[in-house]
Structure 1
Amino acid sequence: MICSECGLVVGDRVIDVGSEWRTFSSEKSGVDPSRVGGPENPLLNGSDLTTMIGPGRGDASFDEFGMARYQNRRTMSSSDRALINAFKEINSMADRINLPRTIVDRANNLFKQVHDGRNLKGRSNDAIASACLYIACRQEGVPRTFKEICAVSKISKKEIGRCFKLILKALETSVDLITTGDFMSRFCSNLGLPNMVQRAATHIARKAVESDIVPGRSPISVAAAAIYMASQASDDKKSQKEIGDIAGVADVTIRQSYKLMYPHASKLFPEDFKFATPIEQLPVM
């Protein structure tokens, strides 16, 4: 294995773990000619050192009752089986919300650490897997809301939240606080809003938080209210229900945050914003 840039020899003996035979569909006769087994998985315990015994052919392979003398035992431990099922669940959840491979790998590693440490006894593996995916998203800088994880998992929001806190405590790790900017671009693109409205909404939300206009409000509800205010002042008007469906917050939550921000609207908008509807004509709650 050689670096194409500088010619450095990275490795002179590289083992190819791929199949050494090509099997064509017309040649399938029930005998698999490949001898290398499945791909290696470093997260499983010794998964690449198992041995499979092929079917016997001669008389010496069978006893006097015609039973195979050498049989494959169940080589996979219950621990590995639990890990594989959890990895499949994380993969399928990530597929449903289009998460990249890096997040899946981080979630798999988190699950493996929790499983090996036996920190969350009594909690279902599906709940732990969902919480690991939520933490992985936060740590990779692309957070998803609890409701978004809940929508692709079979677990309730409350149970995912409990597991989330227990995992952080058990692994002695932490996640960055979420801000309004983490969700803004995703929510605006899902609503089909132009770049100008997105920039205005980001500015409004940031100024509102900095000026302490919306104390105690979650970043998601502040972001939703900022999008509502920016869209109402532009040509691309969106209703509270449309924004609420995308952001996963109730109409009344958006109204409460908007009501706090409305009196300060004149100083929240960016200076270069082109108003289609003047501030005085914005909806009053």
Structure 2
Amino acid sequence: MSRVDFTQVHCSNPPEAPLVEDVRAGDQVGLECGLVVGDRVIDIGSEWRTFSNEATEVDPCRVGGAENPLLNGSDLTTLLRGGSGMAAFDKHGNAKYTSRKIVASGDRALMNASKEISQIADRLHLPKTVVDRANNLFKMIHDGKKLKSRSTDAISSACLCIACRQEGVPQTFKEVSAVSQTSKKEIGRAFKLVQATLDISVDAINTGDVMSRFCSHLGLPNSVVKAATAIAKTAEDLGIVTGRSPLSVAAAAIILASQASKCKRSQKEIGDVAGVVEVTVRHVYQLMYPRAVKLFPKDFVFTTPINKLPVS
């Protein structure tokens, strides 16, 4: 039984006539002439009907979930379920049959990776497009039998980081590490290995990618977010922070903007959110402070004037 590709079928008279699907018969029919242009169409979605008995909490649904394109064999696994009648037990009262799901070892690795990626994405509130791309990246690594000696969790986290950057919602290694079972260092190593193995090039994280997120975690208003973004960009354009990490630059810019506003945040608070040690944040702040007059946007409303800001 073959699946019909709806993008290829069309009615012969006239060709541009719209097609409708007869769900009951599994046919694709021309709306104007009634010609059946595709039959025995398979619905790969999950069963939408339920046969559950609310009183006994038994749900004898006839099929499982929707097809998983990551798994070989379209996830057609076998589930043996134990019975509840007299014939299901031997003379000693032991169950003759136990629930057992037969899953290939290769599919098990994909399932575990997919589960890990989904859990991390849920905790970081990432869109499904990121999850799908990360799953595909992991499958490419798995099918090519590359990096077999590496931790599945580390590779999964690295694939998610790459997918985030490709989808325009970059996450730092620290942010991913905080909600996963893998350390920041392991994710960084796996990230480089996956890039080299798949020959993938992704843009580095810049201050604009993380500024809004960091300020949101710190509970800062939009005026401070705009000021910190402008401070970081101007500092980069003037070459004040050349060679410094975008995360430390963003943290130092937030310190300047917040200390000049009524919503002040300490270097430690900001460093913890940005995942940068306090000493590093302080050093970058000291590079920015002497040029603070040029860094602040002209329309910024100061609560604390620049000459009253902390020097270090």
TM bracket (short chain): 0.7 to 0.9
Question: RCO higher in 1 or 2 (8 Å CA, sep ≥ 6)?
Answer: 1
Following superposition, the deviation at residue 36 of structure 1 comes to 2.5
Alignment partner for residue 82 of structure 1, among 109, 118, 135? Answer: 109
Mapping 1:1-285, distance limit 5 Å: 8-9=18-19, 11=21, 13=26, 15=43, 17-27=46-56, 33-50=60-77, 75-285=102-312
Does the 8 A contact of 2:71 with 2:107 survive in 1? yes
Does the 8 A contact of 1:43 with 1:112 survive in 2? yes
**Paired residue for 1:60?**
none
TM-score, normalization by structure 1 = 0.85
Does the 8 A contact of 1:181 with 1:202 survive in 2? yes
Following superposition, the deviation at residue 54 of structure 1 comes to 8.0
AA aligned opposite 2:114: F
- The root-mean-square deviation of aligned C-alpha atoms, in Å, is 2.8
Does the 8 A contact of 1:19 with 1:34 survive in 2? no
Following superposition, the deviation at residue 17 of structure 1 comes to 3.8
Following superposition, the deviation at residue 172 of structure 1 comes to 1.4
AA aligned opposite 2:221: P
| Paired residue secondary structure (1:148) | helix
**Paired residue for 1:67?**
none
Following superposition, the deviation at residue 194 of structure 1 comes to 1.2
Give CA deviations for 1:255-275 in whole Å, capped at 9, x if unaligned.
110111111111111111111
Does the 8 A contact of 1:197 with 1:234 survive in 2? yes
AA aligned opposite 1:125: T
Question: For 1:98 and 1:17, how far apart are their aligned partners in 2?
Answer: 25
Does the 8 A contact of 2:224 with 2:257 survive in 1? yes
| Paired residue secondary structure (1:199) | helix
More helix by share: 1
AA aligned opposite 2:52: T
Change (3 A) 1:235 1:8: farther
Percent identity over the alignment is 62
Gaps of 5+ in 2: 1-5, 7-16, 27-40, 84-97
Change (3 A) 1:86 1:54: closer
Change (3 A) 1:11 1:168: farther
| Paired residue secondary structure (2:298) | coil
Aligned positions, number = 268
Question: For 2:170 and 2:80, how far apart are their aligned partners in 1?
Answer: 46
Following superposition, the deviation at residue 75 of structure 1 comes to 3.6
AA aligned opposite 2:207: T
Question: For 1:54 and 1:223, how far apart are their aligned partners in 2?
Answer: 56
Following superposition, the deviation at residue 24 of structure 1 comes to 2.0
Change (3 A) 1:24 1:116: same
More strand by share: 2
Question: For 2:50 and 2:148, how far apart are their aligned partners in 1?
Answer: 44
TM-score, normalization by structure 2 = 0.78
